[in-house]
Amino acid sequence: MSLADDQQRQRVLDATESLDCTVYRPDEDDLDAEEQDLGDAKVLFTGPFEPPQEWDAAERDDYFDGIDPALFFTALIASEAKPGSKAFFMPQSGDLLAAMNAGKVEMYFVCERLDDEQGSSFVLIRDEETD
Protein backbone atom coordinates (compact mmCIF):
# COMPACT_ATOMS: atom_id res chain seq x y z
CA MET A 1 0.00 0.00 0.00
CA SER A 2 1.46 3.34 -1.03
CA LEU A 3 1.81 6.29 1.33
CA ALA A 4 -0.88 8.13 -0.68
CA ASP A 5 -3.26 5.16 -0.31
CA ASP A 6 -2.52 4.94 3.43
CA GLN A 7 -3.17 8.68 3.97
CA GLN A 8 -6.33 8.53 1.89
CA ARG A 9 -7.52 5.46 3.83
CA GLN A 10 -7.11 7.30 7.12
CA ARG A 11 -8.94 10.33 5.72
CA VAL A 12 -11.91 8.14 4.72
CA LEU A 13 -11.98 6.36 8.09
CA ASP A 14 -11.90 9.70 9.95
CA ALA A 15 -14.41 11.64 7.80
CA THR A 16 -17.74 12.22 9.52
CA GLU A 17 -19.55 12.05 6.14
CA SER A 18 -18.21 8.54 5.40
CA LEU A 19 -20.86 5.82 5.45
CA ASP A 20 -20.52 2.38 7.02
CA CYS A 21 -20.52 -0.35 4.41
CA THR A 22 -19.77 -3.99 3.77
CA VAL A 23 -18.03 -5.20 0.62
CA TYR A 24 -18.91 -8.52 -1.04
CA ARG A 25 -17.19 -10.41 -3.84
CA PRO A 26 -19.28 -12.64 -6.13
CA ASP A 27 -17.94 -16.08 -6.99
CA GLU A 28 -16.71 -15.75 -10.59
CA ASP A 29 -17.02 -19.51 -11.14
CA ASP A 30 -20.53 -19.89 -9.71
CA LEU A 31 -22.85 -16.93 -10.16
CA ASP A 32 -25.51 -18.67 -8.02
CA ALA A 33 -23.13 -19.09 -5.07
CA GLU A 34 -23.26 -16.84 -2.01
CA GLU A 35 -21.01 -13.78 -2.28
CA GLN A 36 -17.89 -13.73 -0.12
CA ASP A 37 -18.16 -11.15 2.69
CA LEU A 38 -14.83 -9.29 2.44
CA GLY A 39 -15.51 -7.21 5.53
CA ASP A 40 -16.52 -3.83 6.86
CA ALA A 41 -15.35 -0.61 5.32
CA LYS A 42 -16.15 3.07 5.05
CA VAL A 43 -17.21 4.72 1.81
CA LEU A 44 -16.84 8.43 1.11
CA PHE A 45 -18.76 9.58 -1.95
CA THR A 46 -16.88 12.31 -3.80
CA GLY A 47 -19.49 13.16 -6.44
CA PRO A 48 -21.13 12.05 -9.66
CA PHE A 49 -18.89 10.30 -12.16
CA GLU A 50 -17.79 12.69 -14.89
CA PRO A 51 -16.48 10.99 -18.04
CA PRO A 52 -13.16 12.35 -19.30
CA GLN A 53 -13.52 15.35 -21.64
CA GLU A 54 -11.69 13.51 -24.43
CA TRP A 55 -14.34 10.76 -24.63
CA ASP A 56 -16.59 11.01 -27.66
CA ALA A 57 -20.28 10.03 -27.66
CA ALA A 58 -19.51 6.42 -28.65
CA GLU A 59 -17.04 6.00 -25.77
CA ARG A 60 -19.59 7.43 -23.34
CA ASP A 61 -22.31 5.12 -24.65
CA ASP A 62 -19.94 2.14 -24.34
CA TYR A 63 -19.00 3.04 -20.78
CA PHE A 64 -22.54 3.64 -19.51
CA ASP A 65 -23.83 0.60 -21.45
CA GLY A 66 -27.47 1.70 -21.33
CA ILE A 67 -27.38 2.50 -17.59
CA ASP A 68 -28.54 5.96 -16.48
CA PRO A 69 -25.36 8.08 -16.06
CA ALA A 70 -26.94 9.62 -12.93
CA LEU A 71 -26.41 6.25 -11.17
CA PHE A 72 -22.59 6.50 -11.53
CA PHE A 73 -20.61 7.96 -8.61
CA THR A 74 -16.99 8.35 -7.62
CA ALA A 75 -16.04 7.27 -4.13
CA LEU A 76 -13.19 6.41 -1.83
CA ILE A 77 -13.42 3.08 -0.01
CA ALA A 78 -11.34 2.11 3.02
CA SER A 79 -11.25 -1.30 4.67
CA GLU A 80 -11.64 -1.00 8.43
CA ALA A 81 -9.12 -3.82 8.91
CA LYS A 82 -5.50 -2.87 9.48
CA PRO A 83 -3.32 -2.97 6.31
CA GLY A 84 -1.21 -6.12 6.30
CA SER A 85 -3.72 -8.03 8.44
CA LYS A 86 -5.50 -11.12 7.16
CA ALA A 87 -8.84 -9.25 7.21
CA PHE A 88 -7.59 -6.28 5.12
CA PHE A 89 -8.92 -6.03 1.56
CA MET A 90 -8.91 -3.70 -1.42
CA PRO A 91 -12.14 -3.59 -3.43
CA GLN A 92 -11.93 -4.51 -7.10
CA SER A 93 -14.13 -4.28 -10.17
CA GLY A 94 -17.12 -6.58 -9.85
CA ASP A 95 -17.42 -6.31 -6.07
CA LEU A 96 -20.69 -5.28 -4.43
CA LEU A 97 -20.96 -2.64 -1.73
CA ALA A 98 -23.83 -2.35 0.75
CA ALA A 99 -23.80 1.14 2.32
CA MET A 100 -25.89 2.27 5.29
CA ASN A 101 -27.37 5.67 4.46
CA ALA A 102 -29.83 7.21 6.93
CA GLY A 103 -30.78 3.78 8.28
CA LYS A 104 -31.37 2.35 4.80
CA VAL A 105 -29.16 -0.06 2.85
CA GLU A 106 -28.10 1.15 -0.61
CA MET A 107 -26.40 -1.31 -2.95
CA TYR A 108 -23.63 -0.38 -5.37
CA PHE A 109 -21.63 -2.26 -7.98
CA VAL A 110 -17.90 -1.50 -8.12
CA CYS A 111 -17.45 -0.60 -11.79
CA GLU A 112 -13.75 0.25 -11.81
CA ARG A 113 -10.77 1.37 -9.77
CA LEU A 114 -9.01 4.61 -10.69
CA ASP A 115 -5.43 5.18 -9.56
CA ASP A 116 -3.62 8.52 -9.49
CA GLU A 117 -1.06 10.35 -7.37
CA GLN A 118 -3.65 10.82 -4.58
CA GLY A 119 -4.30 7.07 -4.34
CA SER A 120 -7.14 4.81 -5.44
CA SER A 121 -10.73 5.86 -6.01
CA PHE A 122 -13.64 3.92 -7.43
CA VAL A 123 -16.51 4.33 -9.85
CA LEU A 124 -19.66 2.87 -8.29
CA ILE A 125 -23.00 2.20 -9.94
CA ARG A 126 -26.03 2.49 -7.66
CA ASP A 127 -28.38 -0.48 -7.86
CA GLU A 128 -31.75 1.18 -8.33
CA GLU A 129 -33.57 -2.12 -7.74
CA THR A 130 -32.87 -1.90 -3.99
CA ASP A 131 -35.05 1.21 -3.56
Which contacts (CB < 8 Å, 24+ apart) does range 54-58 have?
none
Per residue in 83-99, pLDDT tens?
999 999 999 999 999 99
Q: How many CB atoms lie within 10 A of CB 67?
A: 14
The predicted pLDDT at position 33 comes to 85
* Per-residue pLDDT in tens (0 to 9) along the chain, 131 residues: 677 778 889 999 999 999 999 999 998 888 788 899 999 999 999 999 999 999 999 999 999 999 999 999 999 999 999 999 999 999 999 999 999 999 999 999 999 999 888 788 999 999 987 54
Indicate whether this model's pTM tops 0.85.
yes
* Amino acid letter, 37: D
How would you label 8-41 residue by residue, b for 16+ Cβ within 10 Å and e otherwise?
bbebbeeeeebbebbbbbbeeeeeeeeeeebbeb
The predicted pLDDT at position 1 comes to 63
